[in-house]
Amino acid sequence: MTSTHVLHTLPALFAAVFSSIVSAATHTVDGSAYVIDGQYTAVLQQRAHRWRLVPYSGGEVDVTDTLATCGSSEAIPTGLWYVTRDVNDKVALVAPSATDLPQDFPQQVAMRACGDKAEGAVTLFVPAVAMNWISGNVGAILIDD
pLDDT in tens, 116-137: 998 878 999 999 989 998 998 8
3-state SS assignment for residue 32: strand
Does residue 53 or residue 14 have the better pLDDT? 53
pLDDT value of residue 56: 66
pLDDT for 9 beyond 50: no
Classify residue 133 by its DSSP letter.
Answer: H
pLDDT in tens, 21-39: 333 333 444 454 444 445 6
pLDDT in tens, 55-114: 766 667 788 877 888 999 899 999 999 999 999 999 999 999 889 999 999 999 999 999
pLDDT value of residue 121: 80
Render the burial of 39-61: b for 16+ CB within 10 Å, e for the rest.
Answer: ebbbbbeeeebebbbbeeeeeee
Count of beta carbons in the 10 Å neighbourhood of residue 71: 19
pLDDT value of residue 63: 87
pLDDT value of residue 14: 37
Q: Are 41 and 142 spatial neighbours (Cβ–Cβ below 8 Å)?
A: no
Does residue 16 or residue 75 have the better pLDDT? 75
pLDDT value of residue 1: 52
